[in-house]
Structure 1
Amino acid sequence: MNGAAVIQPAPIPFYTVLVLYLGIMAFIGWYAGRKTNNIGDFFVLSGKAGVVVSGIAYFSTQFSMGTFLGTPGTIYGVGYAGMAISVPGAVFCMILPALLIGRKLITLGHKYGFLTMADYLTDRYHSKKMSGVLGVMMLFFLVPMMGAQIIGAGVIVHVFTGLPEWVGVVGMGIIVILYCMSGGMKGAMMTDVIQGSLMIATAVVTFIVSVVMGGGFSNINHTLQSMNEAYLTFPGANGYMPWTYYVSNIVLWSFFTMGQPHLFTKFFAMKDHKTMFKAILLGTAGMFFSATLIEWAGVNGIASIQNIEKADQIIPMILQRGMNPFLASIFIAGIVAAGMSTIDGILVTTTGAVTRDIYQKIINKDATDENVMKLSKVVTVIIGIIVICFGVFQPGSIFEINLFAFSGMAIFVVPILFGIYWKKATAKGAIASVIVGIISLLLFTLNPSVKALAMGFHALFPTTIIASIVMIVVSKFTETPPQETIDRHFTV
């Protein structure tokens, strides 16, 4: 079927449901703002998040427009092999960080009042320069990550109303700015519970609708085989998923989540270790279940919808074509939730990087927590406006932008793990590893000759090896942090 014929906007049901949903999110932000009494509340909920809030908030922040639009859109051109993009990694993306760093971060966070990744790195390496390096990297990579989510809102608004995509970009941006500016992490995590639940429901319903539209599993597979047998096997259409890239994706979406500041910070918000392990079970189940179904729906969509304007539209089109307009709008709100839940977590974390890690620790060391709170609201608005502009100009597909931003922040896995497990790791070693790591990542990503040296693996594989070698070598020849600092981090 021609894609132009598929787009039959139903703006009234869409606006009715979306305005109601966004209104609820805005109210929660306002309510959270009234309950946010200090800087600890604003950034990490004062370390009091329970099992349900912790588990759902982690997975709803990890999952994004990339999961619900960008990844199914990529899979739409690949077939079943494309599901390996994130489904295997989704099983471990909360388990590995919790086992490797989570327990210690909860202890350190509660004992020393850490609120951000920069708090940990600055204290561990006894260097305020770590705050500046992390802050700059977060602005460079996390603004695009937020931009990828907000582009998805534009895609949804276009499919359901026929309006230009920039309308959805601006609308979503304003709502998220308002509730993050008001409630900080409390507002973000409270809305995440609703958004995460809605995301699971959307994944289930979209999958069922896609199966019905395709005439059942047998008919879908028969249709895919008649179109292109590669849709049914590895490495997929156009050879997209060779074994090296398959392995890369498993490691990428599980191990490297430790380097994401908006996920790292979630451990500081958890109440205790018992809460963390229960949250792992809840969050992992939610991630694996929803990722499998929404990505499978992308495969099913190949059999029933062809020749669409852009691949990112496949999931909204399945809902639009297969359901009553009001019901479709309710579940499309689940995709909006996926983007909002990621943006709010990143926006609060990025705001913290600017106001606490750069301003309070480097620019104005005399700034009080009250000053930082006030500045945070202003910075939230400024960053939000930059993200909206990024979304309007759309420099790439949702999946491409998301992957680039995720990879950039993943470099911090090196100073984090060395900081936790190696007493002799130094600040100069950590900073050098990040700088060399970023340069290596860009070379392996953008330069075809250098990229060939990765032998089919994702650029993060060789980049992490190089960054680790730099960390070891530089640390061997530079001064370690004071013994007091080492004791503080290795005797808890």
Structure 2
Amino acid sequence: MNMLVMFGICLAIYILVLLAIGWYYSKKQKSVVDFWLAGRKIGYIPIGFSAAASWITGGGILAVTASYLLGGLGSIWTFAAPNVIALFVIGLLVSKIKSLPAITQPELLEQRYAGSIRLPVAIIVAIVMMLFAAADVSGLMLIFNVFFGLDPIYAAILIVVAVSAYVLLGGLSAVVWTDVIQYLLLATVTIFLTIAVLFTASDLSALSVGDFISSSQSGTGWWNPFSIGLPLVIIFCVAIIPGWISEHDQWQKVWAAKDEKNARNGFFFGSLLIFIIFGICCCLLGLGLRYLFPEVSNMGDAEIALLSYSLNNFSGILIVMIALGLTAAAMSCMDTFATSGGSTISRDIYQRYIKPDATMKELKVINRIAVLIIIFGATAIAFTSINIIEYIHIATYIASAAYFFPLMVGLYWKRATKEGAIASLVVGGVCQIGMVLIDMYMGTNAAGVYYLETLSPILTCHGVIVSMALSAAAIIIVSLMTKKSSVYNLAPFFEDEAKTLETDEVSHVDTLSSEYGGYKDVLQAEVNGEREHLQLDLKASTPLNWDRFIDELRAKNTAWFTSSGSNAVYRLTHADLLSCPMISRGNNEQEVWISAEPRIENTGTAQIEIYLAYKEIMETLQSMGILTDFIKPEEKKAI
């Protein structure tokens, strides 16, 4: 059977499995939070697999292996080590990230600073996700061309159709669980290739595998992890790790975890899984291929060395399996970036600025369109001449320079202001994008060094160190020159500020009354780790003018607070914003959903606070001439 036909059959079966997973989770979704954050129910094992798989692309495996082949162990700092370190650091930051009441990072930044920062951050995140996804498409094009002689357009069509199908069905739940399958497949293929290459190289060198590993390239500096020099090690770490620590798709996985423990252990596990592939397998592959292809001296040839070895040494069925594993790696990253980028377009741009009163059903449709925008945008970018690693580096540098400091400084320094954050975003982002464009326009010299680096070593990595320094200076200086943020913006992030808003209303509610008992009968409750998700669904007698409703609710009750547009309205009465009642649009224009996620030990208090929120909403709607009734759990359908 023709290899291409065999691959097509295997890929079709594989995609059907992924589609089945997507279909299964589409039937379980009852809110857009289920679509965006998998209902906050994911355990540490799938979190770890997904966190790792979403950073291991098919092209990335080829490019990292090529870096080891050309530069030895010292090249670990250009990609592999920052991957491992960044995931581990995210695990250390879980307790702070997990407690934040947001679905996306642009929404989080608006909650922290208010003002107009959400839109530019959303645009930057969408662009960064497209660039990351473009690396996957580019790698798949290379794999298809070498193995099957296919034109790049066919690789593009494949990934667009396949990834779109199962991501559009199941959202983040489908992404996480398909990532588990994809990691296992890509890891199996990578480990198999590592063993095969090492045995081939050791046979040709007349050494045992152990002796080949221990003695090969000895005396050449290949095994020196600091062969690129300590200054470059520091530059790469400073340039790359901040961008990956603040990467939007990984924060979404923290928010999707069922609790802090699962999120933390998941990211520690994920850093180990990445190290196995990028730190061990790719290193040993580079070592073996360096012996088998001593004539290779440039990145382009090095990237296809592993594919050339496979073609020359394996049967058709093995090549098909290798191609399937590398394709799975590409898809595992593409789906994550598409989902994360899509969520910023649908929630942070469409819902926030175009239609704040969009219903949950409308948002799911828009989210699907947004996912397609990211996928098609990435595919278009992939037809440029930039190499695989460069796509990832450029995206990372922009993230590091543009929104790392507004995000991280805002979480830990209460004096940071919206003016400082915007200045940091603009100065860092514009500077970095400008320097990338200069390097792309001027190109490289005969040694493959970009123009800016030839001017000064500090401008290595497209000058991102300079951009980051300017971004950091901007947020500090401008913040100190401007007025402190409102207590309402600081409260979700700093407990001492939140305590100034605390009130004692709970003790005045008669929980033995028939009215309260009727409310408790329809209140939905589901335990997720250390928190319990509470939800009460109301239906108005007529379609709501959402903006008018929110304005009147806030006018009548000062506890209600909109930190990031009228699509997310909190009843802010104590320090833990996740525990505070929040209202949002339901499936249609008549539905209002009230939800809260208190810690289990505080569930009783949160139930009373939702009851108080319900009473205030009902009274506000009655003043508008609108009646309300409960939607019973059995009446609610998946969106």
Q: State the TM bucket, normalised to the shorter chain.
A: 0.7 to 0.9
Q: Which residue of 1 aligns with 2:477?
A: 473
CA displacement 1:250-298 (0-9 Å, x = unmatched)? 4445443122111122111111111122213321211111112124313
Residue 394 (structure 2) pairs with residue 407 (structure 1) = no
Q: Which residue of 1 aligns with 2:500?
A: none
Q: Which moved more, 1:88-97 or 1:429-438?
A: 88-97
Equivalent-residue separation in structure 2 for 1:478 and 1:357 (angstroms)? 26
8 Å contact from structure 2 (residues 64, 80) kept in 1: no
Q: Which residue of 2 aligns with 1:53?
A: 46
Q: Which residue of the other structure, out of 121, 139, 148, is the alignment partner of 1:134?
A: 121
8 Å contact from structure 2 (residues 164, 372) kept in 1: yes
The one-letter code sitting in structure 1 at the alignment partner of 2:468 is: T
The one-letter code sitting in structure 1 at the alignment partner of 2:23 is: W
Q: Which residue of 2 aligns with 1:487?
A: 491
8 Å contact from structure 1 (residues 213, 322) kept in 2: no
Q: Which residue of the other structure, out of 43, 63, 81, is the alignment partner of 2:36?
A: 43
Q: Which residue of 1 aligns with 2:191?
A: 204
Q: Which residue of 2 aligns with 1:177?
A: 164
8 Å contact from structure 2 (residues 126, 342) kept in 1: no
Q: Which residue of 2 aligns with 1:5?
A: none
User: Per-residue deviation at 1:204?
Assistant: 1.6
Q: Which residue of 2 aligns with 1:6?
A: none
Provide closer, same or farther for how the CA distance between residues 299 and 380 of structure 1 changes in structure 2, counting only shifts above 3 A. Answer: same
Equivalent-residue separation in structure 2 for 1:326 and 1:268 (angstroms)? 41
User: Per-residue deviation at 1:407?
Assistant: 1.5
User: Per-residue deviation at 1:410?
Assistant: 2.4
- Unaligned regions of 5+ residues in structure 2, if any? 203-208, 440-450, 496-575, 577-639
Q: Which residue of 1 aligns with 2:465?
A: 461
Q: Which moved more, 1:24-33 or 1:353-362?
A: 24-33
The one-letter code sitting in structure 2 at the alignment partner of 1:84 is: W
CA displacement 1:315-356 (0-9 Å, x = unmatched)? 333334343332343243232222211111111111111111
Q: Which residue of 2 aligns with 1:3?
A: none
Residue 375 (structure 2) pairs with residue 384 (structure 1) = yes
8 Å contact from structure 1 (residues 56, 196) kept in 2: yes
Q: Which residue of the other structure, out of 332, 347, 358, is the alignment partner of 2:338?
A: 347
Residue 19 (structure 2) pairs with residue 22 (structure 1) = no
Q: Which residue of 1 aligns with 2:82?
A: 89
Aligned to 1:77, the other structure's residue is in SS state: helix
Q: Which residue of 2 aligns with 1:435?
A: 426
CA displacement 1:213-240 (0-9 Å, x = unmatched)? 2124655788768xx946565776xxxx
Provide closer, same or farther for how the CA distance between residues 223 and 94 of structure 1 changes in structure 2, counting only shifts above 3 A. Answer: closer
Q: Which moved more, 1:36-45 or 1:73-82?
A: 73-82
The one-letter code sitting in structure 2 at the alignment partner of 1:83 is: I
Q: Which structure is higher in RCO with an 8 Å CA cutoff and minimum separation 6?
A: 1
Q: Which residue of the other structure, out of 91, 104, 112, is the alignment partner of 1:124?
A: 112
TM-score by length of 2: 0.69
Equivalent-residue separation in structure 1 for 2:466 and 2:435 (angstroms)? 8
Equivalent-residue separation in structure 2 for 1:51 and 1:180 (angstroms)? 21
Equivalent-residue separation in structure 1 for 2:215 and 2:370 (angstroms)? 53
Residue 318 (structure 2) pairs with residue 327 (structure 1) = yes
Matches within 5 A, 1:185-264: 185-215=172-202, 216=209, 218=211, 229=220, 231=222, 241-264=228-251
Aligned to 2:377, the other structure's residue is in SS state: helix
Equivalent-residue separation in structure 2 for 1:218 and 1:444 (angstroms)? 46
Equivalent-residue separation in structure 1 for 2:415 and 2:77 (angstroms)? 38
Equivalent-residue separation in structure 1 for 2:34 and 2:20 (angstroms)? 18
8 Å contact from structure 2 (residues 60, 388) kept in 1: no
User: Per-residue deviation at 1:175?
Assistant: 0.6
Provide closer, same or farther for how the CA distance between residues 142 and 336 of structure 1 changes in structure 2, counting only shifts above 3 A. Answer: same
Q: Which has the larger radius of gyration?
A: 2
Matches within 5 A, 1:312-323: 312-323=303-314
Residue 393 (structure 2) pairs with residue 396 (structure 1) = no
Equivalent-residue separation in structure 2 for 1:230 and 1:284 (angstroms)? 27
User: Per-residue deviation at 1:180?
Assistant: 1.3
Q: Which residue of 2 aligns with 1:282?
A: 269
Q: Which moved more, 1:213-222 or 1:75-84?
A: 213-222
Equivalent-residue separation in structure 1 for 2:67 and 2:335 (angstroms)? 25
CA displacement 1:136-160 (0-9 Å, x = unmatched)? 1123332122111111111111122
User: Per-residue deviation at 1:165?
Assistant: 2.4
Residue 66 (structure 2) pairs with residue 73 (structure 1) = yes
The one-letter code sitting in structure 1 at the alignment partner of 2:323 is: I
Which structure: greater strand fraction? 2
Equivalent-residue separation in structure 2 for 1:139 and 1:51 (angstroms)? 27
Provide closer, same or farther for how the CA distance between residues 233 and 92 of structure 1 changes in structure 2, counting only shifts above 3 A. Answer: closer
Q: Which residue of 1 aligns with 2:284?
A: 296
The one-letter code sitting in structure 2 at the alignment partner of 1:404 is: I
User: Per-residue deviation at 1:121?
Assistant: 1.0
The one-letter code sitting in structure 2 at the alignment partner of 1:40 is: V
Provide closer, same or farther for how the CA distance between residues 96 and 452 of structure 1 changes in structure 2, counting only shifts above 3 A. Answer: farther
- The two structures, once aligned, show a CA RMSD in angstroms of 2.6
The one-letter code sitting in structure 2 at the alignment partner of 1:407 is: Y
8 Å contact from structure 1 (residues 206, 294) kept in 2: no
Q: Which residue of the other structure, out of 98, 104, 112, is the alignment partner of 2:96?
A: 104
Q: Which residue of 1 aligns with 2:362?
A: 371
TM-score by length of 1: 0.88
8 Å contact from structure 2 (residues 22, 174) kept in 1: yes
Equivalent-residue separation in structure 2 for 1:141 and 1:395 (angstroms)? 18
Equivalent-residue separation in structure 1 for 2:470 and 2:454 (angstroms)? 14
Provide closer, same or farther for how the CA distance between residues 202 and 250 of structure 1 changes in structure 2, counting only shifts above 3 A. Answer: farther
Equivalent-residue separation in structure 2 for 1:324 and 1:66 (angstroms)? 22
Equivalent-residue separation in structure 2 for 1:55 and 1:253 (angstroms)? 21
Structure 1 residue runs of 4 or more that deviate by more than 6 Å after TM superposition: 220-223
CA displacement 1:3-49 (0-9 Å, x = unmatched)? xxxxxx94244333323222322322222222223200111112111
Equivalent-residue separation in structure 1 for 2:220 and 2:97 (angstroms)? 48
Q: Which moved more, 1:445-454 or 1:261-270?
A: 445-454
Equivalent-residue separation in structure 2 for 1:242 and 1:435 (angstroms)? 32
Provide closer, same or farther for how the CA distance between residues 449 and 88 of structure 1 changes in structure 2, counting only shifts above 3 A. Answer: closer
CA displacement 1:188-234 (0-9 Å, x = unmatched)? 11111111222322332221111112124655788768xx9465657
Provide closer, same or farther for how the CA distance between residues 17 and 184 of structure 1 changes in structure 2, counting only shifts above 3 A. Answer: same
Equivalent-residue separation in structure 2 for 1:232 and 1:456 (angstroms)? 27
Identity %: 20
Q: Which moved more, 1:276-285 or 1:211-220?
A: 211-220
Provide closer, same or farther for how the CA distance between residues 221 and 167 of structure 1 changes in structure 2, counting only shifts above 3 A. Answer: farther
Equivalent-residue separation in structure 2 for 1:252 and 1:56 (angstroms)? 25
Equivalent-residue separation in structure 1 for 2:152 and 2:60 (angstroms)? 19
The one-letter code sitting in structure 2 at the alignment partner of 1:302 is: R
Equivalent-residue separation in structure 2 for 1:323 and 1:246 (angstroms)? 37
8 Å contact from structure 2 (residues 74, 224) kept in 1: yes
Aligned to 1:35, the other structure's residue is in SS state: coil
